[in-house]
Amino acid sequence: MLVVETVVRIRRERAGGKSIRAIARDLRLSRKAVRKAIDAPEGAFTYHRRVQPLPRIGPFQERLDTLLMENEGLPRRDRLRMTRIHDLLLREGFEGSYDAVRRYAARWKAALRKDAGANIVGDVPAFIPLLFQPGEAYQFDWSHEDVEIDGKPMRVKVAHMRLCSSRAIYVRAYPRETQEMVFDAHARGFAFFGGVPLRGIYDNMKTAVTTVFTGKDRVFNRRFLIMADHYMVEPTACSPAAGWESRRPCPQGITVRWRTRSRRSGGGSSSPG
């Protein structure tokens, strides 16, 4: 069975006009599997295994990671070839093939390149200006605000949804930050904007992300993925401790947050300010 993330991607790409043949080719799936994902009722997904077993590399994975990291830090002319790294592992008792090492190294380098917040060799932070097309993406996040209702002070959760291109914003206050309220905020936000962007940017909130891996790899919550599939939205998570990724598209966030605190004492929306 296909994992939820793959099913959501198939349905999103098909809704965007991509042919079944092209989807099957790009994802290396059979056309039968692609059609089954497209025809499946919404939410009728099952999980497959999350961890790919590595029967040969498994006991040597930590050693291989060390060799790859050390090799990556060397000048290009001094770096070892994969055949040499494979030979070093063989001397230490490794019984796997060269192809297994080569494939693992390719995945390792691809995962390292995904972490765009740091330079591989110098470990120097890199900042890239974020530019968005109209309807390309939105940012969703929560804040907590202290308000007074019926003369009693209390703390509420405020959902913020902002279009990354126009900076238009929708906010709504809730008593708690539960998944049902995440769904409600999305439904009301999309209705307020009159449409649904292609991609959503999230700051690893627990109601959306179950597991955080290196770089931008995530395991999203199953119910959250079903919502994303319903709206055909591609969810994207920020890197941990990388606040610039979530705040950079929306520089007015602090101003709007203070306006929310002073003007809103209950649920409601705000027009672009």
What pLDDT is recorded for position 191?
A: 95
What pLDDT is recorded for position 187?
A: 95
| Top-confidence range, 49-63, 126-140, 177-191 | 177-191
What pLDDT is recorded for position 241?
A: 46
CATH number for the region 137-263 comes to 3.30.420.10
Q: Which long-range contacts (CB under 8 A, 24 or more apart) does 84-93 make?
A: 89/60, 89/63, 89/64, 92/60, 92/63, 93/60
Work out the average pLDDT over 129-145: 85
What pLDDT is recorded for position 74?
A: 84
Q: What band does 213 get if pLDDT is binned at 50, 70 and 90?
A: low
pLDDT higher than threshold 70 for residue 155? yes
pLDDT higher than threshold 50 for residue 245? no
- pLDDT, one tens digit per residue, over 164-181 is 989 999 999 999 888 899
Tell me which residue of 159, 271, 258, 257 sits closest to 208, measured CA to CA: 159
Phi, psi of 261 (to 5 degrees): -65, -35
Work out the average pLDDT over 202-223: 72
Could you tell me if 165 and 258 are in contact, meaning their C-beta atoms sit under 8 angstroms apart? Answer: no
pLDDT higher than threshold 70 for residue 247? no
Sign of CA dihedral 129, 18, 109, 79: negative
What pLDDT is recorded for position 6?
A: 81
Return the percent helix, strand and coil in the chain, to nearest 5: 40, 20, 40
Distance from chain centroid for Cα 65: 24
Work out the average pLDDT over 116-145: 70
What pLDDT is recorded for position 208?
A: 79
What pLDDT is recorded for position 44?
A: 57
What pLDDT is recorded for position 128?
A: 56
Could you tell me the CA-to-CA distances from 3 to 53, 137, 271 in Å, in that order?
16, 24, 38
Mean pLDDT of the chain: 77
Question: Per-domain residue ranges for the chain?
Answer: 4-39, 58-114, 137-263
Sign of CA dihedral 229, 234, 239, 243: negative
pLDDT higher than threshold 70 for residue 261? no
- pLDDT, one tens digit per residue, over 11-67 is 888 888 899 999 988 888 888 888 888 887 765 555 455 555 555 677 888 888 888
What pLDDT is recorded for position 48?
A: 53
Residues paired with residue 234 on neighbouring β-strands, in sequence order: 199
Q: What distance in Å separates the CA atoms of residue 136 and residue 132, rounded to the nearest whole number?
A: 6
pLDDT higher than threshold 60 for residue 264? no
